[in-house]
Structures are given as structure tokens and as C-alpha cells.
Amino acid sequence: MATISSPGLGSGLDVNAIVSKLVALERKPIELLQSQASKLQTQLSSFGLLQSYLSNLQSAAARLAQSSFWKESSASSSDAASVSASASSSAAAGSYAIQVTQLAQAHSLASKAYLDSTTSVGTGTLRIELGGWNADQTVFTPKSGSTPVDVTIGPGEDSLESIRAKINAANAGVTATIVKDASGARLVVRSNLTGEQSSVRLTVTDDDGNSADANGLSALAYDPATATGQMTQTLAGRDAIAIVNGLQVQSSSNVLDGVVEGLKLTLSKTTASTVEVKVAPDTEAQKKAIDSFVSAYNDIAKYLADQTKYDATTKKGGALQGDRSAVMLQNQLRSLLRETSGASATYPRLSNLGLEVQSDGTLKVNSTKLNAALADPSEVAKAFSAVDEANPSNEGFAVKFRKFTALATGSEGMVTTRTQGLRDAIKRNNDQQERYEDRVALIEKRLLRQYTALDSSVGQLNGLASYVQQQMAALAKASGSK
């Protein structure tokens, strides 16, 4: 049976209040630990964000540190609707005169008109081949590497729409469609590739026994040398022809890739005159990458300044105010900005390139200086991306930043080790809190036990005092009555 405890009833003492206040005093170290834990957790979160900012700076620096990046070129066209262009790093700077005299075209065939797409054509085997026709289409030369594809048309699957589906499912390098005009429905077969050598030949083994007439499945044949009155050529297979700097070039595709090293030309229209295509270093991409680097540096510089500052007005410091690792990182980043480099005699400092340090420790791009520097991209490339393992002072600015950020965030880096140190401190703090909680629980039990016993003893003494008073009063009354 459970007992009911009401400390204080016997003595009038507020035992629960007394014990509660004493326990509150014992909990003071726990409250201090909880405050410390909150601060440690805030610092850990701050270092987590700091690591993210460093990673962004590392990525931005890594792009500028790639020597291949500074070799990238851009291409522009005076008539992009007719000739568009793109350049790779191997494209030589220069100007190219392009005239398009003929566009590449895919071979296309059309059947005679049928009543509708459900009309039965006939059964047999349709063979599809890719290759090239001579000028009068009397000789067909199969395309190198291609293989004829046979499409069997059986009973119940010889409607125009069924034949279209079977041709498309055969993956023979052609696409079949049905086009309806005033005369009826026609089967159109078109090569999937442009160019003279991707033209189509269709031959038929007709189940009606005559594969050369225009009846049954034979009506879908196209082999002018051996049959007449069958499929009709609507578009001839044709190569693209262009004149590049006075030289005629021919291509099965409207994309000329490799005709000029590193330059890809896409032909969209024939031209009556030349289109000028210019290839030059991609200064816009270079400016954008430099801006990204400046932005990434400024993000971390502002963040560190905010986290390590002390506000005299509020009398409060940032989450990392006084943190040795954060302050050291801030100083090292600032030092990197002001370092000279022997990578380029023309641009020994970032400020020579137009990246100027401001009074608050951030960077600002001087566009006039930067544009002037990028007029000689090879020298700017050295200033950012030069590598010299034997003499690090001769390395490019971006290389230095990439290495520094990689080291800071590496397994033994200052940010990584400080982050782990904070995690360890939080764990120790939690362990201490648990030990104190156990200790306080025991103290509370002991105090309740002691004050409950005191309450009982005082109650007994009060009872005894009352009894003595009663006896004394009775004795005095008895003595007065004699």
C-alpha cells in the first residue's frame, strides 16, 4: 500500500520549499554548464558555415588556377542566323570568312496516295538500305558500316499505319510517317541522317509474286534502276557545301566540326555573301570567374569580421570573438591578399590586376585595370595559375588561395581540428551535466529524508510540549482549589 507523505504537517515547516531552494543551489553548476553548451553549439554552427564559405572560395580559386581555363576561346558570328559558331581551347584566335552555298539535306520518299491510313497495301518483305545514289540514280553504293534491315509484313498487319509502325520499330535509320493531302494518305520514309551517303533504297519481296510492279507491297519499293512507278523521291540526300576562307568544304552534316581546329560551325541558311566568324580569348568568362572569386572572398571576409567583432554599444561579442582559430584564419587570409608573386613580373600584386583591397578588408574590382590586363590574357594566366613547387613565392594567386583553403579544410586543417575540438567539448559538457544531474538527484533524496525526519521530530516535541502544558495547567488548578 502506498504511503502519503505531507512534509511540514507535523512541525509547520515548509519542507518542500526548503528542499527546493537547497536543490536549486546545487543545480547552479548545471546551469553554468548549460550556458557553456549553448555557446559551444553556437560556435560549432559558426564554424560549419565558415567551412562552407571556405569551400566556395576554394572552388572559385581552383577555376582560376587551371591553366586550361585561360586558353578557352569564344566565337562570334556576324550572321548567327545563318552560321553560328562555338570555340574550344584549341581554336586559334583569328577571323574566318564563311559562305554557305548548300545545306545538307536528308533523303525523303513518298508513296502514291491511298484512300486512308487503314488501307491494306500488301504483304511480303521490305528491305531498307542506306547508302549513296549516283547522279542519275542508276547505281546505289551501300554506306560503309551499315547493314540492310528486313521488315516482314504479314497478313493483318499490312495497312498503311501498321507498315509505318513496323518500319519505325525496326531501327533501320529511317523514320516513316503518314501525310494526308487532297489525294489521300501517303507513306513518307525519310532518312534519319543528312548527306548524300545516307540516302535510302527500298526493295521488296512481294507475296503476290511480282516484286517489280506498282501493286501490293511492291508499291513501296524505291530502286529506280530496276523498278518504275513506285515510291517517289521528294527530297534528294545532299551534303552541305561551304567556302571557308576561300576553300570549299563538303560535309554530310550541317555541323562542321573540326574543319577549322577547335571551331564548330553550325550552318542554318545559304548565304549570298560571306559571314565573318571571329575567334578570341573568352574575356567575358574570365571576368565572370574573377568576379566569382572576389565575391567568394568577400563573403568569408565579411563573415569573419562579423563573427569576431565586439560591439561596444551592446557590450556583446560575435560568436567567434576571441576564438584563436577564427582570428588566425582571418589574419592569414588578409596576408594572402597582400602577398606578392613572382609568377608574373607585370602583375606582382592583385592590385596590379585591378583587385584592390578596401579598408574593411574586402576586395573590389577596378574594371579599368582588369580590362587593360585582360588585353594580354597569357600574362594574367601566369599571375593566377602559375605553379612552382620548388619556389611557392613564384606561384599564381589563385594557386596560393586554392592550396590554403584546401589545407584549412583538410583532415588536419585548422578549421577541421577546431570543429572537432568543439564537438569534443560539447560531449564533455553533456557528460558533466549528466553526472551533476545524478548527484543532485541523490542530494534531493537525502535532503527530503533528513527534513522529513526533522519534521517528524519537531512534531513529536511540539506534542510533548503541549502535553506538559496541559499537565502543568491541571496541577495549578488542583493546587488552587485546596
Residue whose C-alpha cell reads 583569328 in the numeric block: 94
Residue whose C-alpha cell reads 504483304 in the numeric block: 123
Q: Mean pLDDT, to the nearest integer, of 455-479?
A: 73
Query: In the numeric block, which cell numbers belong to residue 191?
Result: 532518312
Looking only at the bridges linking them, the beta strands covering 199-206 and 363-365 are: unpaired
Which residue pairs, CB below 8 angstroms and at least 24 apart, start in 411-415?
Answer: 414/325, 414/328, 414/329, 415/47, 415/50, 415/51, 415/54, 415/325, 415/329
pLDDT for residue 279: 92
More confident residue, 157 or 476: 157
Determine the Cα–Cα distance for residues 313 and 305; give it in Å rounded to an integer.
Answer: 17
Per-residue pLDDT band at 14 (split at 50, 70, 90) = confident
pLDDT for residue 35: 82
- Distances in Å between the alpha carbon of 160 and those of 122, 124, 180, 219, 369? 9, 14, 12, 11, 70
- Residue 350, CA atoms < 13 Å, CB-side half-sphere: 23
Determine the Cα–Cα distance for residues 153 and 125; give it in Å rounded to an integer.
Answer: 6
> 319 and 307 in contact (C-beta within 8 Å)?
yes
Mean pLDDT of the chain: 89
pLDDT for residue 436: 82
**Residues composing the chain:** 482
Determine the Cα–Cα distance for residues 87 and 73; give it in Å rounded to an integer.
Answer: 6
- pTM given for the model: 0.69
Biggest distance spanned by C-alpha atoms of the chain: 164
pLDDT for residue 310: 86
Measured in whole angstroms, the distance separating CA 19 from the mean position of its chain's CA atoms is 60
Determine the Cα–Cα distance for residues 251 and 254; give it in Å rounded to an integer.
Answer: 7
- pLDDT, tens digit, for every residue of 200-221? 999 999 999 988 888 999 999 9
With CA atoms as reference, report the closest residue to 233 among 144, 165, 139, 137. 137
- pLDDT, tens digit, for every residue of 409-453? 998 989 999 999 989 988 998 888 888 878 878 887 887 777 777
DSSP character string of 299-352: HHHHHHHHHH-EETTTTEE-TTTT-HHHHHHHHHHHHHHH---SS-SS--SGGG
H-run or E-run covering 33: helix 28-65
With CA atoms as reference, report the closest residue to 175 among 128, 220, 218, 217. 128
**Cβ contacts of residue 297 below 8 Å, gap of 6+?**
57, 60, 333, 337, 362, 363, 401
Q: Is the pLDDT of residue 5 over 70?
A: no
Determine the Cα–Cα distance for residues 160 and 201; give it in Å rounded to an integer.
Answer: 19
Determine the Cα–Cα distance for residues 200 and 232; give it in Å rounded to an integer.
Answer: 12
Taking the CB of residue 371, how many other CB atoms lie within 10 A of it?
Answer: 12
- pLDDT, tens digit, for every residue of 63-114? 999 998 998 889 999 999 999 999 988 888 899 999 999 999 999 999 999 9
